[in-house]
Amino acid sequence: MRRIFLSAILLVVTAGSLHAAGPSDVAGGDRAFWPSPINSTASFDLASRAELLAFGKALADSERIDDQALQQQLQIKSFDHASVERIRATYWQRLTANYMLAAAHCDNRQPFCAPVHDQADFKRAAAAFVAAPAPEYRAWFDQASTFQHVYLNELLRLAALFPRVNSEVMSFSSQEIDGHALGDREFLLSFDDGPTHAGGSTDAMLQILRSLHTNATFFTLGEPLQARLKQSSPASVAALYQGMCVGAHGWEHRSHSAWPQWQDSVTRSMALVHDNLPDSYVPLFRPPFGQRRPDSGDFFAQHGWHVALWNIDSQDWNAKVGAEQVKQRVLTLMLLWRHGIILFHDIHTKAQVSVPWLHDQVRDAGVQWLDCHRFSAGT
């Protein structure tokens, strides 16, 4: 049985900032093991139930490991027990709600359709998920068990380091949004770190989005945006992003968690977008690495801005994860979480392969690619 383990690169360590090295293994899915296409709402729900049970089994298994053993397994030097317990409780709630949505129109004669009426029922069903329900799902079951255990470790690692090293895995205030409040089957595409130079990857990604009649939110860095404005003109850059939403990602890609000038980075980068791209500007800020100060909520509230995080990390930023693994991973996580904000990077080309493929895979599955303007209006 083929099992995919993808090594993660280390995050860049910036002087004066606190970063954690990435996990040694990153989950890379392979939907080829799933025996049927996801070409209807019923088939989406079937595949969703399967992934939910597989992740739930991984979560149940993790609760049988003591803190010391889990810390060693996650290969980290510090371990915040309260954060790990908090994220586990949150995941049980979300998994149960998602499973009940996915199982709303099935009965126990169908695969992966356990009788679940509350969280206790789902936890029992997940703990008992130790074998494929039918021969055609055996290859998927082996692959999914590996994927979901590795993926859960990614998340538990972030939780165990929180809040000392904070990330998208938990929020600090109501000014922060992570995608879990979206409706069932609603997904927002988002892209970080651009823009590239004229004619580069950003331009290509925007052309693909328009060909799909889809928009997205772009979180631009101040330095490359300023360079692009000088390279061409404010009018041409405004035309480039026409129909899209543009927020800010800081003046440079540097963690704001321990940077004394973090407020200046926010205000300068937000002002640059607001002043030069008024038709596309949205009051959303995405902190580099997802790292921000725990007490930053009042600052953002005073300016009428929201911190925009994510709940589906494509890993397209990872040099050791190829475009094929990126698209397979994202589809699996869409089935698991059933809604959310997907993180891509327009400075890389992997999203140019992934996004059209994802659109094609779920074309008839009831998935809605959320209008970024509607999303921004609701924050």
Bridge partners (DSSP) of residue 247 are 219
φ, ψ (nearest 5 deg) of residue 9: -80, 160
Provide the pLDDT for residue 204: 98
Q: Which pLDDT band holds residue 109 (cuts at 50, 70, 90)?
A: confident
CA 153 to chain centre: 15
Two tokens, residue 128: 């008992």
pLDDT, one tens digit per residue, over 214-251 is: 999 999 999 999 999 999 999 999 999 999 999 999 99
Provide the pLDDT for residue 21: 57
Mean pLDDT in residue range 257-265: 95
pLDDT, one tens digit per residue, over 359-372 is: 999 999 999 999 99
Sequence letter at residue 358: L
Mean pLDDT in residue range 2-18: 35
Q: Which residue has the tokens 């199982």?
A: 103
**pTM for the whole thing?**
0.94
Share of the chain above pLDDT 90, in %: 89
Provide the pLDDT for residue 3: 37
Q: Let me know the angle formed at the C-alpha of 101 by 99 and 103, rounded to the nearest 5 degrees.
A: 65
Provide the pLDDT for residue 8: 34
pLDDT, one tens digit per residue, over 144-178 is: 999 999 999 999 999 999 999 999 999 999 889 99
Q: Does the pLDDT value for residue 18 go beyond 50?
A: no
CA distance 328 to 32: 9
CA distance 307 to 312: 16
CA distance 371 to 224: 25
Question: Residues 134-141: contacts with CB within 8 Å, 24+ apart?
Answer: 136/35, 137/35, 137/50, 137/111, 139/1, 139/33, 140/33, 140/34, 140/35, 140/50, 141/54
Query: Distances from the Cα of 5 to the Cαs of 141, 161, 215, 329, in angstroms?
Result: 16, 22, 32, 12
CA distance 310 to 16: 25
Query: Distances from the Cα of 224 to the Cαs of 14, 19, 86, 101, 178, in angstroms?
Result: 18, 23, 38, 42, 25
Q: Which pLDDT band holds residue 277 (cuts at 50, 70, 90)?
A: very high
Q: Does the pLDDT value for residue 10 go beyond 60?
A: no
Share of the chain above pLDDT 70, in %: 94
Provide the pLDDT for residue 17: 40
CA distance 176 to 261: 20
**Mean of all residue pLDDT scores within the chain:** 93
What stretch of H or E contains 285?
A: strand 281-285
Bridge partners (DSSP) of residue 368 are 186
